[in-house]
Amino acid sequence: MLFGLKINHLKTLLFIAVVMSLASSCNNHSSTGTYRSFISPLIGLNVKSGNDFDVQVLFGKEKKVDSVVYLIDTVKTVSKTDTAAIKLRTEGLKLGNHLLTAKIYNGGESEDLTSNINILAAKAPDLYTYKVISKLPHDTSAYVEGLEYHDGFFYEGTGEKGNSDLRKVNLQTGKVLQRAKLDTALFGEGITIIGNKIFQLTWMDKKAFVYDKNTFKQVAELQYNREGWGLAFDGQKILASDGSNTIYFLDKDNYQQIGSIEVYDDKAEIRQLNELEFIDGKIYANVYQTNTIVIINPENGAVEGKIDLTGIFPVADYYKTDDARGNNVLNGIAYDKARKRLFVAGKKWPYIFEIQILKK
């Protein structure tokens, strides 16, 4: 990721368009001049998962209509014939944005009013700090985008045009044992290991590559039609980030999308999700340009924990000028499942750190 430029522009623009559309449709005049609107919920209301929320519409001059059918997304929830407020449940709804529709029927005609709600995580995440167990040497030319531990070695995917590659690295010495360089026009991104293959993304080049893990020979080049950021493998499917608050699920054999989750804590969406790792049934993700790793429930996208890694490597002390410091932020998570070792890295950092996480 290069500075703050990696933004999911299309998703942001679409979201703005939807909100503007909702705003205009929430206050309607029917063909008879009757003013109708949602009293609640207001557009964009945040509701914690598991909580009920109030729903009420204003019918205007009419004291009664034939019926009002309420839908969440496209699913009918309840029908009423008066203006009294009702409570709708969030149980079973995915985290994220949901469209609320009141379909008003009267005299053989109908009209729709719309609003929306955001479902947040049910509770605040647990907070963690860290203890450094060991420091392992790392090549300071490696702009880390993806990091994996496998069979006693680190595998790295690095970025920057002209310097992007795939590497196999000696844990104890930091020496690069194998390398596959990308074309100098490409900006490499996250990697993950799937059996005897390595899958690697590019940032904005709409390309992904598959390599033989043993030989580093490229065996496939794929079209990848979104920004490439982080990757992980949970044993069944590939997990992919694109800098938004969405984690996409990809088929491990054909690399096509098969699902997704949106990531929220109890207050807001968590954007800038970057490098990923799957550890003991949870998704760990770097939050780009921060010192935070979030721990995510893969079933619903709820942030269950936050690890504060402030101070683990004083970039400002090591790189004395802004030019040298660049964008050398925390990025890279790897896990040794057999020995329960957690490793974290940063772009062009001189060390990879083995850490233990501690609850605050």
Give 296-324 pLDDT, tens digit per residue. Answer: 999 999 999 999 999 999 888 888 777 77
Q: Mapped to the 3 state alphabet, what secondary structure does the chain carry?
A: CCCCCCCCHHHHHHHHHHHHHHHHHCEEECCCCCEEEEEECCCCEEEECCCCEEEEEECCCCCCCCEEEEEECCEEEEEECCCCCEEECCCCCCCEEEEEEEEEEECCEEEEEEEEEEEECCCCCEEEEEEEEEEEECCCCCCEEEEEEECCEEEEEECCCCCCEEEEEECCCCCEEEEEECCCCCCEEEEEEECCEEEEEECCCCEEEEEECCCCCEEEEEECCCCCCCEEECCCEEEEECCCCEEEEEECCCCCEEEEEECECCCCECCCEEEEEEECCEEEEEECCCCEEEEECCCCCEEEEEEECCCCCCHHHHCCCHHHHCCCCEEEEEEECCCCEEEEEECCCCEEEEEEEEEC
Reported pTM: 0.88
Give 241-272 pLDDT, tens digit per residue. Answer: 999 999 999 999 999 999 999 999 999 999 99
In angstroms, how far is CA 317 from the centroid of its own chain? 31
Residue 35 confidence (pLDDT)? 64
- Give the CB-side neighbour count of residue 254, counting CA atoms within 13 A: 3
Closest CA to 159 of 343, 332, 283: 332
Whole-Å CA distances, 147 to 191, 237, 285, 347:
7, 18, 12, 11
Query: Would you place residue 55 in the very low, low, confident or very high pLDDT band (cuts 50, 70, 90)?
Result: very high
More confident residue, 23 or 164: 164
List the CATH code of the domain at 9-120: 2.60.40.10
Locate the domains of the chain by residue range: 9-120, 126-359
Residue 327 confidence (pLDDT)? 87
Residue 32 has pLDDT above 90, yes or no: no
Give 210-248 pLDDT, tens digit per residue. Answer: 999 999 999 999 999 999 999 999 999 999 999 999 999
The CATH number corresponding to 126-359 among 3.40.140.10, 1.10.760.10, 2.130.10.10, 2.60.40.10 equals 2.130.10.10
